[in-house]
Amino acid sequence: MLLIGAFLALAGRCFYLQFLRNDHYIGQCLEQKQGRLPYKPQRGVILDCRGRVLAASNKVQFIKVEPRRVKDFKDLSSELQPILGMGAHEICKLINESNNPGYVKIKADAKPSECDAARRISSAVGVESDWQRHYPMGRLAVHAVGFTSLDNRGLDGIEYQYDKQLSGSAAQDIFFADVRRRPIRPAPREHSPADNNDVENAVLTNGVGIILTIDATIQQFARDELVRQYENYEAESAVAIVVEPKTGAILAMVSLPDFDPAEAHSTDPDNRRNRILTDEFEPGSIIKPLVAAIALDAGAVNKVEKIFCENGNYSGRGFGRIGEYRRGFGDLTLREILVESSNIGMAKIGQRLGKDKLYKGLRLFGFGKKAGIDLPGEADGLLRPAHKWTGYSVTRIPFGQEITVTAIQLVRAFCILANRGRIVRPFLVKAIVDNDGEITELKRPLPPVGYVVKPEVAEWIVSDAMVGVVNEGTGKRAKLDKWQVFGKTGTANIAKSDERGYSDSDYVASFIAGAPVEDPAIVVLVSIRKPNKILGKGYTGGVVASPVVGKIVEKTLNYLEYRYARADF
Amino acid sequence: MRSRFHLVFVVFCFTAVLVFAVYLRSANNRIFFDLCSCRGEQSRLKQELGTKQLLLEGLINPAALSRRFDGINTNE
C-alpha cells in the first residue's frame, strides 16, 4: 500500500510538473539558455537640398558601474582613473552618490580603447552604447530642423513633424547562449513578424532620411545679415525667409533669437519659437500691393485714374481720422499710392472695393488660415469675417491694421504675386529617402490649379508699382546694380498691451522683395520687431529691413547663378 | 574472430559519427559566435566612419566656413 501510495504521489508530482507548471519551467529554462540583444534603430538623417548633413545620429559608448557589485569604491576608482583620464575622487563621488544601486554612468562618449580597458578591470564595470543626435551646423537652421529629447524623440521642427518616419522601429536578437553568455545559436522565432508593436519579432528598421528644400549656403547668407542688423538695432526679435516663388520651396528660414540644438533643454523656451510661423503681427504698409492687386483685379480702380489723398488728413463718419506716416499727398495714381505708401489712398481703395470683395481677396491670398507648411506650431493669423467688420475695418485693413499675419503667410502672398497670380504653397521637405539612399517620396510643388488675381494685374503690380518702390520710393536701400529688385516696405506700429491704441516707440520694420523682376527666382522677407528707436539710427522698414534684404538677394542670386552655371557645365 | 572484428568496426564507426556530430555542432556554434562578433565589429567601424563624417561636416559646413573667414578677416 505504501509503495502504491508513493508511486501515486510520484505520478501526481509528475503530472503537476509536466502539465500544470509546464509553461513556467519551460520559460525558466529558456531564460537560462537564451540571451537577448536589443537593437535600437538609428534615427534618420536630415539633409539640406545639396545633401549636407543638418542632423544625424551616431552611436556613443558609455562606461557604467553597478555599485552593488563593487567591494571597494576607492580601489575601483583608482584603477579606473588612468584609463578614463578622470580624477579618482570624481569617480568615487559618482559611485557613492548614486541613488541607483544597479547603475551609475561614469563616462559618456568613451573611446573604444577606454571601453576595452575598463571592461577588464571588474565585472561591475560595463559598457553601454546609445544613439546620440548631432547637429553639425549648430544653430544655423535650428528652427527648421528642430531638436530631440534625451531619449531621441523629436520635440520641435522637422524632428517633431516627421518623428515617426525618422525614428524607425526597434528589434532584438534572441539566441541560445553558452555558460559564459556567448551567443552560440539563433533562437527560433515564436510568432509571426506581422505585429509592428512586437519588438521581439520585429525587424530592425532604421529611420528614413529627409531632404529639405533649405540650402545651407543661402541660410548662412540670410542668418549672417539678419544677425548683424538684429544686433545693430538691439531688436527684440527678427525673422528672414527666402522662398522660390515658382514652386514655394523654402530656401532659408531664420528666426532670432535662436539657440544651440545641443543645449536645447537648457534654453529659454521663448528662443525655441519659430517666429516665422508662430508670431502674428499687424503687417502695416507691406500689405498694400496685395490690396491694390485685389482692387485692380476687381475693377474697383484702374492704373491711370488719380485718387485724391486729402493732403494727409482724411476723416469721416464711421471710420475716424486717417493720417499719413510722413507728409500729405494730393492726387495720386495707384502706382504713386504704392510708391509713396499713402495710407489715405489705400483707405479710399478699401472703401471702393467694399468689405466683401476685400475679405474674399485677402482669404484667397491665404490670410486668416494656415499656410500648411510641414512644420508644427503654425498660427492662423487674424482676419475677422466680413460681417464682423466695422467702418474702421474697411479703411484700416488696406494699410495693414486690424489684421494680423505670420511671416510665412506674407511671403506666400507675395510669392503668388511674383508667380503671376498663380497659387503657391510653401513647403520645406523636398524628398524622403530610405536607408539605401533611394527616394521613396518626392514632394512636388502644388500643381498650377488657378489664379488669385489675373496674371496681367500681378505682373503690373510687381514690375511697375513694386519696382517703383525700390527705384524711387522707400525701398531704395535694396536697389542692386546687377538685378532689378521689386519690393515693398512696411513700418507697423505695435498695439499697446495695457491700453487702447498704438505705441509710439515700438514698431515692426519689414521689407519684402524679389528679383530679378523679369523672372523672379527668389522672394525674401525680413521683419525686425522693435528696433531700438532711442539709438537714433531709424526704425522704418526702409531703413532697418531693406538693406538686409538687398544683401540677401544679391548674395543669393550670385550664388544661384554660379550654381546653375556649374550645373549646365 | 570475424564477428568480433565486425563489432569493433561498428563501435568505431558509431564513435566516429558521434565525434563528428559533436564537432559539427561546436563548429556551428563557433561560426555563429564569430558571425555575431563580426557584425559587432562591422557596426563599430560603421559608427566610427559616421563619427568622422560628422566631424568633417562640422568643419566644412557654410556656418563653420563663414566663422573661419570672419576670423581670418579680423586677424588681417
Is a pLDDT exceeding 80 seen at residue A156?
A: yes
Cell of A106: 561614469
CB contact under 8 A, A184 and B62: no
Q: Tell me: do A289 and A166 sit in the same domain.
A: no
Q: What is the DSSP letter of A463?
A: I
Higher pLDDT, B76 or A89: A89
pLDDT of residue A186: 78
Write out pLDDT tens, residues A20-51.
888 898 888 888 888 887 888 999 999 999 99
* Residue A193: predicted pLDDT: 47
Alpha-carbon distance A57 to nearest alpha carbon in chain B (angstroms): 8
Q: How confident is the model at residue A194 (pLDDT cuts 50, 70, 90)?
A: very low
More confident residue, A360 or A115: A360
If asked whether residues A91 and A227 sit together in one domain, one would say no
Any domain includes A14: no
The reported pLDDT for the residue numbered A202 is 67
Whether the CB-CB separation of A537 and A233 falls below 8 Å is answered with yes
Let me know if residue A177 belongs to a domain.
no
Chain A CB contacts of B64 under 8 Å are 137
Shared domain check, A421 and A280: yes
Residue A563 has what pLDDT?
Answer: 65
In the prediction, which pLDDT does A114 show? 85
Task: Show which of A172, A192, A207 is a domain's final residue.
Answer: A172
Query: Between chains, do B29 and A185 touch, taking CB under 8 Å as contact?
Result: yes
Closest by CA to A358, choosing from A398, A417, A392, A391, is: A398
A45, A115, A137: best mutation site toward chain B, by most B Cβ within 10 Å?
A: A137
Q: Is A492 helix (H, G, I), strand (E, B) or coil?
A: strand
Spell out the residues 6+ positions from residue A467 whose beta carbon is closer than 8 angstroms to its own.
Answer: A484, A485, A486, A517
Is residue A224 situated within a structural domain?
Answer: yes
pLDDT > 70 in chain A, percent: 96
B33·A137 Cβ contact <8 A: no
Of A237, A55, A248, nearest to A135 (Cα)?
A: A55
Q: Tell me, what CATH number does A95's domain have?
A: 3.90.1310.10
Asked whether the beta carbons of residue B62 and residue A140 sit closer than 8 angstroms, the reply is yes
| Same domain membership, residue A332 and residue A408 | yes
Question: Rounded mean pLDDT of A436-443?
Answer: 83
Query: Of B33, B43, B63, which is closest to A182 when you measure between CB atoms?
Result: B33
Q: Does A178 touch chain B (CB under 8 A)?
A: yes
Residue B74's pLDDT band, with cuts at 50, 70 and 90, is low
pLDDT digits (tens, 9 = 90+) for A42-93: 999 999 999 999 999 988 888 888 888 888 888 888 888 888 888 888 888 8
Q: Is the pLDDT of residue A192 over 70?
A: no
The residue range of the domain holding A62 is: 40-116+124-172
Q: Is this structure's pTM higher than 0.95?
A: no
d(CA A351, CA A345): 10
Q: Does residue A10 form part of some domain? A: no
Is A325 within a domain? yes
Sort A363 into a burial class: Cβ within 10 Å, 0-12 / 13-18 / 19+. middle
CA distances to A209, A364, A385 from A368, in Å: 33, 10, 9
How confident is the model over A269-293, as a mean pLDDT?
94
- For residue A49, give the amino acid letter: C
Cα A416 to its chain centre, rounded Å, is: 22
Q: Render A264-333 in DSSP notation, one character per residue.
A: GGGS-GGGGS-HHHH--B--GGGGHHHHHHHHHHHTSS-SS--EE-BTTEEEETTTEEEE-SS--BSEE-
For residues A134 and B54, the answer to whether their CB atoms sit within 8 Å is yes
Q: Indicate the domain borders of chain B.
A: 2-60
Query: Measured between CB atoms, does B37 come within 8 Å of chain A?
Result: no
Asked whether residue A202 is assigned to any structural domain, the reply reads: no
CA distance A387 to A391: 11
- For residues A392 and A314, what is the distance between their CA atoms, to the nearest angstrom? 12
Residue with cell 550670385: A558
Tens of pLDDT, residues A132-145: 899 999 899 999 99
Residues A147 and A262 in one domain: no
Residue A226 belongs to a domain: yes
The CA distance from A62 to A246, in Å, is 49
Across chain A, mean pLDDT equals: 89
Same domain? For A288 and A410 the reply is yes
**Residue A553 forms contact with B (CB below 8 Å):** no
pLDDT confidence tier of residue A367, bands split at 50, 70 and 90: very high
pLDDT on residue A565: 62
Which residues sit opposite A256 in a β-bridge?
A238
**Portion of chain A with pLDDT greater than 90, in percent:** 58
Mean pLDDT of A10-15: 92
- CA A317 centroid distance within chain: 46
Residues 6+ positions from A250 with CB-CB distance below 8 Å: A144, A213, A214, A241, A242, A243, A373, A426, A427, A428
Residues A224 and A155 in one domain: no
Residue A136's nearest CA partner among A63, A51, A222, A26 is A51
Q: For residue A333, is pLDDT > 90?
A: yes
Which residue out of B25, B31, B33 would a mutagenesis test of the A interface target, given it has the greatest number of A Cβ atoms within 10 Å?
Answer: B33
What is the count of structural domains for chain A? 2
In a domain, A184, yes or no: no
